[in-house]
Structure 1
Amino acid sequence: MTLPQAVISFALVAGLLTLVPGMDTALVLRSSISRSRGFAFATAIGISTGAMIWGVAAAVGVSALLAASEMAYRVLTIAGAAYMIWLGLSLLWKSLRHGKAAAAPEAAAPVPGRNEFVRGWLSGTGTNLLNPKVGVFYIATIPQFIPAGESPLLVGVLLAGVHCVLTMVWFTLLIFGTGYASRWLKGTRSIRMIDSITGTVLVGFGLRLALEPAH
């Protein structure tokens, strides 16, 4: 297999994975609807940052160590599950607060500043870094697409970069698509419903991650 063939083959696999709805998609959609387009892009960039870090880790063998060590995997799994559950419960609590304030007149959404963008990026990065399944995916796939004679580190970074580009293209379509519907989705009731759904999804992912048997 040549390097171009490896990149194309990996892109097909990563592209299919990107299109599968999951926690990352829920976070980006929620950010786009209830926050702002900039915040949603910051979250998407954070998700891609986490994926790139996992890709580099897989290339240098860190993810292989994680996959081989049941204790390390379990510790990261519990940490990731706790983070997802906390994030989900925070959104559920926010939806309850929105519900109590529903009778009040709607105020204009605040313009996000630099701190808001940083928070979006940290949210996306933390979500991906604390999900060991991302690392396991890379360690299970990247070695299969490294041509003989090529540098594992450089090819690993290249393939992770391909995945990040595909992810950003998909999230960009989602963010702009959501933006066209924002007139109907940015009301207090809509945001409350979105927070409730996203929070429930995150708590569900966290519980499933925490309760699934060790690999």
Structure 2
Amino acid sequence: MLAGSILAFLGVSALVIVTPGPDTAVTVRNALLGGRAGGIFTALGVSVGQAVWAFATSLGIVALLVASEPLFLAMKYAGAAYLVWLGLHALRAAWRPGEGGEDAAAAARPARRLGRGAAFRQGLVSDLGNPKMAVFFASLLPQFVPAGQPAFTAFLALGLVFSLMTFAWLAAYAVAVAKAGDVLRRPRIRRAIEGVTGALLIALGLRIAAEQR
């Protein structure tokens, strides 16, 4: 029974993790801006955020947060605003006017790379500001806690497994984007990706703000 519960949890977690969302969009964008390190540190920030959610779930804090309408709404709107803010920055980078020969000049000079600290922070805030993570951990984890096991230990263990799986998946995304970096960072292609990513982040932020629990 224990093995079956673990396998079921791993299967559900894998489906949730591979479904693209705000964390994936932020990781791909930061891998484009900061190379492999930028993407991996973003993935690390996301996974640390999930570890925080797991710890908070183990302590019962997440259940209180989900039950409190004002706190839940404040977190939801703050997270949505952060995604919209990132999206607007991406759109500004995509639409920034340039002079003649801009592509040649941009290709000739080294691009400013996203720092590891900034990448980590964006991944962390993106995940902590996503109210779906609170609902996910509060509703899903209890279903896979084996009977007779201490709730704190079981919640924390399952949450950390989910966090490590997320890191592995997003880090693989980052490596793939980094390998294609020379092509993807060509000025016109980079601006196109920035535009698409920016629009996606804004759409995700607006969807989070508008949707019900």
TM-score, scaled to structure 1: 0.90
Partner residue, 1:108: 110
Work out whether residues 88 and 198 of structure 1, in 8 Å CA contact, stay in contact via their aligned partners in 2.
yes
The alignment partner of 2:110 has SS state of coil
> 1:30-68 CA deviation, whole Å, 9 max, x = no partner?
111232110111100000011111111112111111221
Partner residue, 1:139: 138
Stretches of structure 2 lacking an aligned partner (at least 5 in a row): none
CA RMSD of aligned residues (A): 1.7
The alignment partner of 1:123 has SS state of helix
Partner residue, 1:13: 12
Partner residue, 2:77: 78
The alignment partner of 1:108 has SS state of coil
User: Counterparts of 1:125 and 1:34 in 2: how far apart (Å)?
Assistant: 17
Counterpart residue identity of residue 191, structure 1 = R
The alignment partner of 1:35 has SS state of helix
User: Counterparts of 1:39 and 1:177 in 2: how far apart (Å)?
Assistant: 13
Work out whether residues 39 and 175 of structure 2, in 8 Å CA contact, stay in contact via their aligned partners in 1.
no
> 1:68-112 CA deviation, whole Å, 9 max, x = no partner?
122221111111111111111111112222x42673312123466
Query: After superposition, where does 1:111-130 map in structure 2 within 5 Å?
Result: 116-130=115-129
The alignment partner of 1:100 has SS state of coil
Counterpart residue identity of residue 109, structure 1 = A
Work out whether residues 58 and 138 of structure 1, in 8 Å CA contact, stay in contact via their aligned partners in 2.
yes
Query: After superposition, where does 1:1-215 map in structure 2 within 5 Å?
Result: 1-2=1-2, 4-97=3-96, 99-100=97-98, 103-104=101-102, 105-106=105-106, 107-110=109-112, 116-213=115-212, 215=213
User: Counterparts of 1:27 and 1:111 in 2: how far apart (Å)?
Assistant: 15
> 1:120-164 CA deviation, whole Å, 9 max, x = no partner?
111000011011111100111111111122121211121111112
Stretches of structure 1 lacking an aligned partner (at least 5 in a row): none
Q: Structure 1 residues 189 and 73, CA, compared in 2 at 3 Å: closer, same or farther?
A: same
User: Counterparts of 2:125 and 2:62 in 1: how far apart (Å)?
Assistant: 17
Q: Matched residues, percent identical? A: 32
TM-score, scaled to structure 2: 0.91
Work out whether residues 27 and 39 of structure 2, in 8 Å CA contact, stay in contact via their aligned partners in 1.
yes
Work out whether residues 32 and 179 of structure 1, in 8 Å CA contact, stay in contact via their aligned partners in 2.
yes
Counterpart residue identity of residue 117, structure 1 = R
Q: Structure 1 residues 111 and 64, CA, compared in 2 at 3 Å: closer, same or farther?
A: closer
Counterpart residue identity of residue 173, structure 1 = A
The alignment partner of 2:44 has SS state of helix
Kindly tell me the number of residue pairs found equivalent between the two proteins: 209
User: Counterparts of 1:49 and 1:195 in 2: how far apart (Å)?
Assistant: 25
User: Counterparts of 1:211 and 1:55 in 2: how far apart (Å)?
Assistant: 25
The alignment partner of 2:26 has SS state of helix
